[in-house]
Amino acid sequence: MSPDQAEGAPAADSDAARFAAARGRDTDQIADNLQWVTEPALAYLDLDQLLSEMLHRVTRILDTDTSAILLLEPDGETLAARAAKGLEEEVRRGFRLPIGLGFAGRVAATRRPVVIEDLDSSPIQVVNPVFREKGVRSLLGVPLVVEARLIGVLHVGTLELRSFDQDDVHLLQTVADRVALAVDHGRLRDQHRIAQTLQRSLLPRSLPALPGYEFAGRYLPAARESAVGGDWYDVIDLGANQIALAIGDVAGRGLVAATVMGEIRSAVRAYAIEDPSPADVVARISQFVASHDSPMATLIYAAMDLESGRIRYARAGHPYPLVVDAQGRANYLTDAGGPPLSANGPNRYGEAELVLARDEALFLYTDGLIERRGRRLTDQEELLAAALERAPLHADAMCTAVIDEMTERGEFPDDIAVLIVRNSGLGDRIAFEIGTRPDELARVRGLLRRWLTEGGASDGDVDAITLGASEACANAIEHAYGPGDARIAVEATRDRDAAVIEIRDHGRWREPRGASRGRGIPLMREFMDEVDIDTSREGTTVRLRRRIGGGR
């Protein structure tokens, strides 16, 4: 090639031109080569393929026999071989060395290019036995640096003696910068994927299906790819007609936030099952966060009695929840507030209570739904309340409509989680099935009490009918065939001024066994106006009837 050609090369290719001038090669070829190692399409390879491809290309361009990439371990003190050409044993053996030691260790320690002209006479103590085994004579190494962070070392070597010059150094450093970026992105991508998987796996796969209630939950990741937030929600069935609702947000993003979120979620589940008050749960989670040196987090924890709709809740630094009433009016619940969960949080939190009446919805969300750069929080809160008032009443439709409106159909800077529970009422008739475990009896009573109360029955009527139905179900459970799969159908309807409860099983009632069952049927008769027990080959149907409002 001639100097003329080099001078005629476009300014953007000056690296190539200088390199070509020094190596006596064709400028266009060199420009192609540079292009070749920095090709954007490489970004689509996974990290190992990418590193391997980069080494292949750099070995060819620089005409070397070996090349290798060592990456800094998470400890920040050790380099580990990650990819190599001509020195494959280095990777296979898991070669590691501390920063400062050996050839690569020196590159890392100085963060500057290091040249070894002749390994045999070098003052640098070379540690890696593979160099000797392969007969490597000359080496050139450069640091891998991203945003002033050292992340590893890239080196090339020859079996013949060679004097690597400034242009070689320059080219290798260009490749190294490209590799460093790719490694950093690849790691972020991996971390992001892990964080995302973790985060998704920690959200409920489905929300409970409970008669007379609608649940809706959403998690929307922000558009930025490298940032999974610590937003989460949970609905926990505590049995005995009790559930717990939780929504929270862990400060920060990525793997740490997702991990802490998982820890808090597990801790909430563990405490919830012990049945302390919401204020206690939140205080204990606060202590948990403090003792784990976790990032700051916010939380609303609510315990709900499905039978009465009574909700007790406590709030730690989390945005105010809202209640949408039967007329569609949205109101913020501003009480029961406390500071976020953190090391210097209090060990007591306040607690408040509300009853979620029929057709009312509780709306919980994380701050990503309302916080927008440059907008006042109070304005945003007003927007949210207005969006809720315009939204359809059904929980799922409400969720979609409010998120659509608040995100202006796609624009939001932070992750969003939303959880809604709505008391949709049981209606005139309820029909459901139970299994044959005795702890299902409480569920039957809870549903019947709610249905009867909704229908205007007095406390006396509610207690009496509940007892009759529970006794009939206890009989059916006792007589069910075998363990496990048997189902008992319960149906409650109104017949003019009376409530009629029908319990059907597929077993056959035997003669009463023991004192308990002996008392069950007389109790049923005592508290109901009519008790019909119809036993056939297919099973037993008990029909209970009691006039409502007639007094005891």
Partner 1 sequence: MTLAKLHTELEKGVGIARISGEIDASNRTEMRSRLLDLIHNADWGLVLDLSALRYLDSAGIEMILHLAKRLDSRQQRLRVVAPPDSFVADVLDAVRLREIVPVDEDVAEAIGELEPQA
* Residue appearing with tokens 């048997």: 486
Tell me the window of 12-20, 40-48, 235-243, 422-430 that interacts with partner 1 (CB under 8 A): 235-243
Tell me the window of 5-13, 43-51, 335-343, 516-524 that interacts with partner 1 (CB under 8 A): 516-524
Residue 477: strand, helix, or coil: helix
460 binds partner 1 (CB under 8 A): yes
Please state whether 243 falls in left (phi above 0), alpha (psi between -120 and 50) or beta: beta
Site string for partner 1, 288-327 (x = CB under 8 A): ----------------------------------------
Contacting partner 1 within 470-499 (CB under 8 A): 470-471, 474, 477-478
Structural contact between residues 271 and 285, judged by C-beta atoms closer than 8 angstroms: yes
Residue 113 tokens read as: 């290019």
- Write down the least CB distance from residue 181 to partner 1, Å: 53
Q: Which of 276, 217, 266, 285 is nearest to 242 (CA)?
A: 276
Task: Please provide the DSSP assignment of 128-142 as one string.
Answer: -HHHHHHT--EEEEE
* Residue appearing with tokens 């730690």: 316
Structural contact between residues 420 and 363, judged by C-beta atoms closer than 8 angstroms: yes
Of 49, 516, 549, 550, which one interacts with partner 1 (CB under 8 A)? 516
239 binds partner 1 (CB under 8 A): yes
Contacting partner 1 within 525-544 (CB under 8 A): 526-527
- Write down the least CB distance from residue 518 to partner 1, Å: 8
Residue closer to partner 1, measured from CB, 385 or 442: 442
Cβ burial of 219 (10 Å; 0-12, 13-18, 19+) is buried
Q: Which amino acid is at 260?
A: V
Structural contact between residues 360 and 324, judged by C-beta atoms closer than 8 angstroms: yes
Of 11, 12, 209, 515, which one interacts with partner 1 (CB under 8 A)? 515
- Write down the least CB distance from residue 520 to partner 1, Å: 4
Contacting partner 1 within 242-261 (CB under 8 A): 242
Of 48, 190, 433, 439, which one interacts with partner 1 (CB under 8 A)? 439
Of 159, 194, 238, 500, which one interacts with partner 1 (CB under 8 A)? 238
275 binds partner 1 (CB under 8 A): yes
552 binds partner 1 (CB under 8 A): yes
Number of H helices, E strands in the chain: 15, 22
Of 22, 101, 222, 240, which one interacts with partner 1 (CB under 8 A)? 240
Structural contact between residues 512 and 518, judged by C-beta atoms closer than 8 angstroms: yes
Of 49, 292, 523, 534, which one interacts with partner 1 (CB under 8 A)? 523
Give exposure, 490-524, as e/b (b: 16+ Cβ within 10 Å): bebeeeeebbbbbbbbbbebeeeeeeebeebbeeb
Residue 275 tokens read as: 């049945």
Residue closer to partner 1, measured from CB, 305 or 414: 305
Residue 507: strand, helix, or coil: coil
Residues that bind partner 1 (CB under 8 A): 238-240, 242, 273, 275, 437-439, 441-442, 445, 459-460, 463, 466-467, 470-471, 474, 477-478, 514-517, 519-520, 522-523, 526-527, 552
